[in-house]
Structure 1
Amino acid sequence: MMESPFDLERELGMQYYATITPGIGGALRTAPEDFIVEEISLEKKDTSGPYLICRLTKSNWELQHAVKEISRRLGVSHRRIGWAGTKDRNARTTQLISLYKVTAEEISALHIKDIALEPVGIANEQLSLGDLAGNRFDIRIRDADPEDLALRVAEVTDTAATALPNYFGLQRFGVVRPLTHRVGELILHGEYELAVATYVGKAFPYEKDDVQRARTAFWESRDPAIALRELPVQMSFERSMLSHLQSRPGDYAGALRQLPPKLLSMFVSAFQSYLFNCALSYRLSEGIGLTEPVPGDHLIFANGRTDTVTQQNIPAVSLHLARGRCNIALFMPGKDDPATVNCNDATRSMLNDLGITSEDFRRASVFVQTKFDGAWRPIAMKTDIQASVEGTCVHLAFSLPPGHYATTVCREYMKTDPIRMV
């Protein structure tokens, strides 16, 4: 186990690496073709229904913006489009989306740069987050440090077959502007003005100068007109919020509701992800391994069964973990009272320090119109990686279950500034 030296990772709770192997450095995503993601879909056999299922392939498109552009071109509400998983922007990604009462002929007439849509079936229900079996990745890390490169790659590959920390990756919190979880925290507190000001007005160094100026102007003045004059037209989410404030001054709750419901819900779920990362790092800081059961641990078995570790069953649990039959999991809190679930002390302490209760999640659930019930997440991920080295280029091919992050795998190899992975 080794600590991350990077402030950004530490701020997002990603404080440790599973390996002590020196990082290979390098860069991800020098081109979209260096980061290929293919969704592994669940089998569905519907023969009728109002939803057209299409295979969406895109490059250099953030999913929410791609959906908004597709809906604009079709002349339908973006709420009529559903998907199973959110994919990376700076990548070439393939996934399924569902479109309510849209025809294959309408899809064939669409022509959008770097977006391809192919009708593949129909369904009775809209695709929802989590309706997938996983994702396949084909990744190239370029310009890696050549010294003992093959040996370092092999050591991390071996560890990945056993256990890596199952952190939520940087893109969960925002790639250029990692503040999604902070907006979620403000929504939980009911501080809607500050939530809007943070989302629209907080500038980050990797943004263009004119964007930074526009954001800062709004942060300092709360005057939407100033920011609207300078924000680029493609920044449609921010502009829609600002336009609402211009027509209805002071209605910050209404401004937040201008965002697509799935994007709005991602703020609160990002905060849940942040809590998970921090709790996992706290566990590792205590010297407890990813596959080392301790009394009180919650277990999730492959067949859906759950159990709790006791002093008496540790030998049996250790055997189950070694054979991949179960996972140790941490609870991501939500509407359920932490006292009624096996919530770990670190998470409970963080909630107390931040002044956030289950009632705050219930209020946010009504505001966002999304269930925030809380969920268990495995603390470890493991995957069999096909790795090869060609000069200073490292090629990785592997699959992950839903909700697991390929960048969390790549960071173990690279151990570099996270901005080089986005």
Structure 2
Amino acid sequence: MKPSAYPLEQSLGMNYYATDAKGIGGVLRSSPEDFIVEELPIKFTGTGPYLIVKLTKRSWEHQHAMREITKRLGISPKRLAWGGTKDRNAVTTQYISLYDVTEEDLAKVAIKDITLEPITHHQFSLGLGSLEGNRFTITLRGCEAEDLTARVEAITKDILESGIPNYYGIQRFGALKPVTHRVGLHILRGEYEEAVKMYVGDVFPRESDEVKAARRAFAETGDAKAALHDLPVQLSYERIMLDSLMKQPGDYGRALQAMPPKLLSMFVSAYQSWLFNSALSARCARGVPLEDAAVGEHLIFTNDRIDTVTEKNIATARQHMKRGRCAVAAWMPGATLPVTPGPMEEEMFSLMKTDNVTMQSFADAAAFTGTNFDGAHRKITLHTEIEYSVAGSDVTLMFTLPPGHYATTVCREYMQGSPEQMV
């Protein structure tokens, strides 16, 4: 393993690469067609009150697309659900469920760069995780051409042999403004004013001068009316908060709660993701191989059974891992803790202590956002079979990932470039 040299990755807990091979550089998402995602759906029941629709979109932010669909249908956002959130700068195909919507209703909807195709019906609403996985076809443009094929082969070999640190990717924390986890930290501490001022008032390098000036003015004055006037309409989430502050001055909690519920909950879960990334990097720093287990760590088996590694069973645990029967997993802290903390959990609790966050903080945040934050096990290693092709200075990667795993985590192993090149 070798360390990342990029401060942004380090701030998000993504400190290591699995491969020791030299990266190929390049640029991700030169166009949306360079990042193609195809959702692999679950088996649908074929009957029921939910219309299952195949949604293909180009260059649409996920939440904006969902809001536009419900707006055009004239229905409550609560009647639309999905299995996974998809990238904006991409061409994505996924499945959504619409409650009590007919194919005739759907046929009347026409939205630029969005295709809606009715597929079947289902007895249940889709929810996060209601998919088998995602198939990716990703092209990296302008890679370093010297020994390019040999470098791609070497990286692929390392990935197949050892796997990749299963980091949450940069888009988990906000592609253009990666502060989602820090906003979540303020929510966990009940610091609602600080959360709003960070989300609306922090300035980010890749934004226009107009946006930067509006953010700075709000950070200095707290004038919601002026900021609402100055911020462009495409910054809709900032504007939702500001509109709420205009109507209820000083009520920053209500301004946060004016956000779409799923987006509000993502602030807190992003903090959980940061804890996981940081603990995984700390494990890498200790020199423990991804394909090995340490005493006190937890194993998750193919049937979802959890076991703890001890001095007595570590040899057996390693054999099970070698045969693909289980993998090391860490429990991301939340309002519950069903396992005895091992080395990674202790690392996360140490970070929480520094941040003045407790398990009760997650329970309080759950009440505030209307979403449970009980925590969950996550494998520390990502495994996938990768097909590739090289054409001149362009490299195309094809692979499939389970739900909740990040294609950019695979791409960064190949590119090893600035994270700004991957959003």
**TM-score when scaled to structure 2?**
0.97
Structure 2 stretches lacking a partner, 5+ long: none
User: Offset of 1:174 from its aligned partner?
Assistant: 0.3
Structure 1 stretches lacking a partner, 5+ long: none
The equivalent residue for 1:107 is: 106
User: Offset of 1:253 from its aligned partner?
Assistant: 0.9
Which segment is superposed worse, 152-161 or 28-37?
152-161
User: Offset of 1:315 from its aligned partner?
Assistant: 2.1
User: Offset of 1:277 from its aligned partner?
Assistant: 0.2
The equivalent residue for 1:394 is: 395
The equivalent residue for 1:23 is: 23
On the 8 A contact 2:211/2:232 being kept in 1, the answer is yes
User: Offset of 1:260 from its aligned partner?
Assistant: 0.7
The equivalent residue for 1:141 is: 140
On the 8 A contact 1:145/1:392 being kept in 2, the answer is yes
The equivalent residue for 2:191 is: 191
Q: Distance in 2 between matches of 1:283 and 1:381?
A: 15
On the 8 A contact 2:176/2:204 being kept in 1, the answer is yes
Cα deviation 1:232-284 (Å, max 9, x = unaligned): 12222221211111011011111111111100110000000000000000000
The equivalent residue for 1:363 is: 364
Q: Distance in 2 between matches of 1:337 and 1:304?
A: 16
On the 8 A contact 2:39/2:95 being kept in 1, the answer is yes
Amino acid aligned to 2:181: H
Amino acid aligned to 1:170: I
1:268 is aligned to 2:268: yes
Amino acid aligned to 1:360: S
User: Offset of 1:339 from its aligned partner?
Assistant: 8.1
Which segment is superposed worse, 167-176 or 243-252?
243-252
Cα deviation 1:163-201 (Å, max 9, x = unaligned): 100000000000000000011000000001111111111
Task: Name the SS of the counterpart of 2:307 in structure 1.
Answer: strand
Q: Distance in 2 between matches of 1:187 and 1:148?
A: 48
Matches within 5 A, 1:8-407: 8-49=8-49, 51-162=50-161, 163-337=163-337, 341-342=341-342, 344-407=345-408
User: Offset of 1:314 from its aligned partner?
Assistant: 2.0
Cα deviation 1:147-176 (Å, max 9, x = unaligned): 111111111111222310000000000000
Q: Distance in 2 between matches of 1:62 and 1:338?
A: 36
User: Offset of 1:124 from its aligned partner?
Assistant: 2.3
Amino acid aligned to 2:228: L
Task: Name the SS of the counterpart of 1:372 in structure 2.
Answer: coil
The equivalent residue for 1:415 is: 416
Q: Distance in 2 between matches of 1:344 and 1:286?
A: 15
Q: Distance in 1 between matches of 2:415 and 2:127?
A: 33
User: Offset of 1:356 from its aligned partner?
Assistant: 0.5
Q: Distance in 2 between matches of 1:108 and 1:198?
A: 41
On the 8 A contact 2:166/2:409 being kept in 1, the answer is yes
Cα deviation 1:277-300 (Å, max 9, x = unaligned): 000000000111111111111000
Task: Name the SS of the counterpart of 2:367 in structure 1.
Answer: helix
On the 8 A contact 2:48/2:124 being kept in 1, the answer is no
On the 8 A contact 1:338/1:358 being kept in 2, the answer is no
Task: Name the SS of the counterpart of 2:175 in structure 1.
Answer: coil
Which segment is superposed worse, 332-341 or 304-313?
332-341
User: Offset of 1:322 from its aligned partner?
Assistant: 1.8
Q: Distance in 2 between matches of 1:26 and 1:37?
A: 20
Cα deviation 1:4-26 (Å, max 9, x = unaligned): 00010000000000111111000
Cα deviation 1:327-354 (Å, max 9, x = unaligned): 1011110002588554622112111111
On the 8 A contact 1:78/1:260 being kept in 2, the answer is no
On the 8 A contact 2:45/2:123 being kept in 1, the answer is no
Q: Distance in 2 between matches of 1:244 and 1:358?
A: 29
Give aligned pairs, total.
Answer: 421
Task: Name the SS of the counterpart of 1:279 in structure 2.
Answer: helix
RMSD: 1.3
Q: Distance in 2 between matches of 1:123 and 1:212?
A: 46
On the 8 A contact 2:81/2:127 being kept in 1, the answer is yes
Amino acid aligned to 1:135: N
Q: Distance in 1 between matches of 2:341 and 2:108?
A: 51
Q: Distance in 2 between matches of 1:71 and 1:238?
A: 21
User: Offset of 1:325 from its aligned partner?
Assistant: 1.3
Q: Could you say if the C-alpha distance between residues 97 and 339 of structure 1 is closer, same or farther in structure 2, counting changes exceeding 3 Å?
A: closer
Cα deviation 1:293-324 (Å, max 9, x = unaligned): 11111000011111111122222222221222
